[in-house]
Structure 1
């Protein structure tokens, strides 16, 4: 498209580029910046980032706590060496295996409901672990925790990419 020529009230010719979606969005951003003094998403960015970091921190902290306490846990349940290793492995296997599923589901249904669902799954797994009366129930609870933690960690990373501009 060729630039159009227009004249202003003082009979001076000026070159104007045709309006495109990019120029419209730039004009809207400039106008919203001038009206508010800053972009609206930036004002809310700190609480959002804190919430996302806390969610990630809890999922990662869970791995550290159980690894440290695993000998005591295995002793309490009188677990075999195979069962002992599955307490940590079940978490990591489900976390890794279900990550692609969480990502695709969040593309379909949106990020917020899926990160909340993943957090809920992690919470349910934590409750199962808390009331476990044998090693098999503990391993099942850890697998459910891993499924939720995989979703939380993945979607938090995706959300940060969605919220923060590349520039």
Structure 2
């Protein structure tokens, strides 16, 4: 069962990146077994591959191109929809924090210092939240890009394992 991206655990950047690690690990393990099975098939086919062998060899190239194209499009779409807005927000809050810090440093009265300290605390909190959102958005971009490659590698591993058993 694939977790929903709207579930609370996917608002935590650490959990998003942990999901990327898990999916990458699954993809790498599946890719390794697919490479092994296809290499064995190529070696067994030798100089006279069957029609099934030729079809499988052609499928290798087509699948890779399709998965890379789908991955790139998914990442570009996700990047376009979230990343630029969030980067702008992070920079805005970072600059706001700098202004608040400078105001705090130039306070001339205790009352002014308290007001500026509060403003600086608010700006720092907003900056931290924006950076957290940026990290989450980055993880989502990676997730979107990994999804088609992961799907193809794991489905190939299952399909080739079944054909190898028969």
Regarding TM over 0.5, the answer is no
* Bigger proportion of residues as strand: 1
